[in-house]
A and B are shown apart, each in its own frame.
Chain A
Amino acid sequence: QKEVEQNSGPLSVPEGAIASLNCTYSDRGSQSFFWYRQYSGKSPELIMFIYSNGDKEDGRFTAQLNKASQYVSLLIRDSQPSDSATYLCAVKAWNGGATNKLIFGTGTLLAVQP
């Protein structure tokens, strides 16, 4: 059973701090990694995706991937109260050209304190 693990939180950070959200996955064949933000009662919204080892930056967001350690993280710099949401990690594995399903973690609840 392929799994994606996230700490459910809540992760509480003060406004202006860096929030670090972590995700581990079990399938070494995983190739693409996605971070979604989900506000309470709303649908998930894509923030970033990454598929190469290293860092990928987009504004205040940085995704970090370490395939050897099977670990992907999302850093949010200068956290704002509006960043308070559940962050879902999703992983897609390559299975030889057949359907490549997305496996979701249960999400980490981030609370940014003003």
Chain B
Amino acid sequence: DGGITQSPKYLFRKEGQNVTLSCEQNLNHDAMYWYRQDPGQGLRLIYYSQIVNDFQKGDIAEGYSVSREKKESFPLTVTSAQKNPTAFYLCASSTGQFLNQPQHFGDGTRLSIL
């Protein structure tokens, strides 16, 4: 079945540690996105990528980094510079950046500080 797989489901970060969240899709989608969701807030865009080897900062990129070496993979690293990393992280993909192409989400990763 086609879909978006995020792992791990739960992740704990120690002080000063970098952690990487995995996102893999087998939908052959060109565009991929990372969002952060905090309780009572909407989704906020961290990074997005329209094609392989290209990505752009979203609205809250500070303290995060990404790579897009393969079409199907878009990992997110939460660095130690991100002082408030506790949130629900959602990866999404779409066929492209065009107006009417919806984004579909993976199951998410919950990140907490130890």
**A residues apposed to B, CB below 8 Å:** 4, 8, 31-32, 34, 42-46, 49, 51, 88, 90, 92, 94, 99-102, 104-107
Where chain B touches its partner, the secondary structure class is: loop
Given A43-B90, A43-B107, A45-B105, A106-B41 contact (CB < 8 Å): yes
* Residues in B neighbouring A34, C-beta threshold 8 A: 102-103
Min Cβ gap A2→B in Å is: 10
Interface pair A46/B104, CB less than 8 Å apart = yes
Size category, B interface: 20 to 34
Which stretch of B12-20, B42-50, B68-76, B78-86 is in the interface? B42-50
Q: Choose among B40, B50, B56, B108 the residue that contacts A43 (Cβ–Cβ < 8 A).
A: B108
With A99-B48, A104-B43, A107-B42 in contact, is A43–B99 under 8 Å at CB?
no
Chain B hits for A107, CB < 8 A: 42
Of A42, A49, A94, A104, which contacts B102 at CB under 8 A? A49
Q: 1/0 per residue B42-70: CB within 8 Å of A?
A: 11110010100000101000000000000
